[in-house]
Amino acid sequence: MSRAKSSSPSGISTQSIIWAAIGWATLALMFYLFLSAPTDGPHIIKPEECNKAVKDFVARPNWYRYGTYIFQTVAIAFSGILCLRNWRSSKIISGRNVWLGLGIGIISWGIGNLIFGYLDFQYQSGLITGGAKGAKDLVNTFPSIADIFFTATYVFLSWGMAMSVIGKRLNLYPKQWGIVGAVGLGGIILAAYVTFGAGGGFTLDTGKILNIVYALGDIWLLIVATILLLAFWGGKAAQSWRLLGSAGISMFISDLWFNYSINIGVNKICEGKQYQSGEPAEFFWILAFILWGMAAALEFDLSSRPSTRGRRS
C-alpha cells in the first residue's frame, strides 16, 4: 500500500483514503468494545400479555446507539462514494459493473439502515413505556419499508460480487474448489439453522420469505468471497480482490449474527432477552463497508497507472 499515492479528483491521495479508513475502523472497534455495555437502567417492565414479568430490563443509552449509527453511516457513505467513483471512471480495468452493483447495494443498505434506526428507537421506546406488549406491537410491523432497501442491497451486492469473478481466469485447483464447496455447505447449514431453527420453524410468511432471501444473499456473498480469496491470494495487483472477499465474509458474519439475535429475541421478549442494537458484532458491518471502500480506492489507484492498465482480466 505504500505506493498508493495517486490523487483522487478531490485531491485526496489514495494512501490518505486508506489510512482514514483504517483509522475509522479502529475507532469503531474501540467504540463497540469499550462502550457497548448497557448502562442506562434498569427499567422495570410489567408486561400485560406475558406469563413471566420482565424485570430489570437494562437499555443501552441513546448516546451510544446514536454513535453506532454514525459509525455505520459514515462507513457506508465512504464506501458507496468510492465504488460509484470507480463506476464513473473509464480507466477502471476490472469492469465498471462490479462497482456499480456494489455502490448501489451499499447506498441502498445505508438508506434502509437509517429507516431501521428510526424504527429501532421506536421499538426501544415502546418496550420501556409499553412493556412487552408495546415491543410485540412494534415487532409485528416487520417487514417494513426498510426491507425494500435491504432487499435491493442483496440484489445489487450479489450482482456486483458476481461480476468480480465472471470472466476472470480463476485457475483454481480441484482442492481449492473443494474448499469453496465446503465453505458454501457450511454457510448453508448455518443460514438454515438461523432462519428455520432459531427462527421458529418452517412456517412461511412474508417475514420468513424475506429472511430466506437475505440468507441466500449472504450465502452467495460467502461463496464469491471464498473464490476471490483463493484465486487472488498473492500479488499487489490483487489487493482489491482480496479486500472484496474479506468484505463479503464480514457481511456474512454480521448478517448471520443479527438474524440469529432477532429470531431468538422475538421469541423471548417476555423473558427480557430481546435484541438491542449496538452489539459488538455489528462492527463487522462497518468493517465490510470499509473494506469495500478500500478495495475501490486501491482499484482506482491501480487503474490510474499507465503501466498496469490492461494487465489483468
More confident residue, 277 or 136: 277
Q: How far apart are CA 165 and CA 227, in angstroms?
A: 8
Asked if the model's pLDDT at residue 2 lies above 60, the reply is no
Q: Can you give the pLDDT at residue 237? A: 64
- Tell me, yes or no, whether 311 lies in a domain: no
Across 238-264, average pLDDT: 86
**% of the chain beyond a pLDDT of 90:** 37
Report if residue 1 sits inside a domain. Answer: no
* Residue 258 clears pLDDT 90, i.e. is over it: no
Percent of the chain with pLDDT over 70: 73
- Region 234-248: mean pLDDT is 82
Reported as a pLDDT band with limits 50, 70 and 90, residue 9 is: very low
Q: How many domains does the chain have?
A: 1
Across the chain, mean pLDDT equals: 79
Q: Which residues contact 174 (CB under 8 A, 6 or more apart)?
A: none
| pTM (two decimals) | 0.84
pLDDT confidence of residue 123: 65
DSSP characters over 232-244: T-SSGGGHHHHHH
In a domain, residue 84? The reply is yes
Q: How confident is the model at residue 54, as a pLDDT?
A: 47
Tens-digit pLDDT profile for residues 269-289: 554 455 677 888 889 999 999
Q: Is residue 5 part of a domain?
A: no
With 0-12 CB in 10 A as exposed, 13-18 as middle and 19+ as buried, what is 187?
buried
- Across 217-229, b (16+ Cβ under 10 Å) vs e yields bbbbbbbbbbbbb
Q: What single-letter DSSP state applies at residue 171?
A: -
Whether 224 is covered by a domain: the verdict is yes
| pLDDT tens-digit map of 80-107 | 999 999 999 888 887 788 899 999 999 9
Is residue 312 situated within a structural domain? Answer: no
Rg of the chain (C-alpha set): 21
Residue 7 lies in a domain: no
Mean pLDDT of 119-130: 64
Average of per-residue pLDDT across 24-43: 79
Domain that holds residue 269: 14-303
- Beta partners for 43? 57
Identify the CA nearest to 102 among candidates 78, 79, 70.
Answer: 79
Say whether pLDDT at 181 is over 90: yes
DSSP 217-234: HHHHHHHHHHHHHHHT-S
Count CB-CB contacts under 10 A for residue 183: 20
Looking at the domain assignment, is residue 8 inside a domain? no
More confident residue, 202 or 154: 154
